[in-house]
Structure 1
């Protein structure tokens, strides 16, 4: 359904202006209290979008999200101890 996506954490200074970030990608979350937004964009236009976001006057800084790099397949190396505690 979706191609490769890249996530950005965008720190902003104006909440009302930050609602317009959805023009640049999929706006997943917008925090009013901590002043950050989670934005997902297609990987093929990520660098171009990053340059456009940095030009905005209300954007303080942009961080790359490491969600795609986190391992999500887990192994069970610990033996099951439930049989020792059974009745």
Structure 2
């Protein structure tokens, strides 16, 4: 069974609070210089987790990834944008 997950980009102020962010999902990456982290969580719980993360005083902004909603099936048929040479 495959679990549908979605990424969250978390902008934080202090790197020392990464442990608190880790508790909410799978931490994939945490940038030192840009001060953001990428966290994967289940899609069913994404609204609750994003509200919990925003309640922390050291978190500036939370952005949800749009990747699960982008269609990745590419059609090989001719489209209106094809250029004939």
TM-score range, shorter chain: 0.7 to 0.9
Say how many residue pairs are matched. Answer: 80
Give 3-state SS (helix, strand or coil) of 1:63's partner.
Answer: strand
TM-score with structure 1 length normalisation?
0.78
Equivalent-residue separation in structure 1 for 2:2 and 2:45 (angstroms): 14
Residues 20-35 of structure 1 aligned to structure 2 (within 5 Å): 20-35=20-35
Which residue of the partner structure matches residue 46 of structure 1?
46
Gaps of 5+ in 2: none
Equivalent-residue separation in structure 2 for 1:32 and 1:19 (angstroms): 14
- Displacement of 1:72: 2.0
- Displacement of 1:45: 1.4
Gaps of 5+ in 1: 79-87
The structure with more radius of gyration: 1
Equivalent-residue separation in structure 2 for 1:8 and 1:67 (angstroms): 11
CA contact (8 A) 1:18 1:58 kept: no
Is 1:9 matched with 2:5?
no
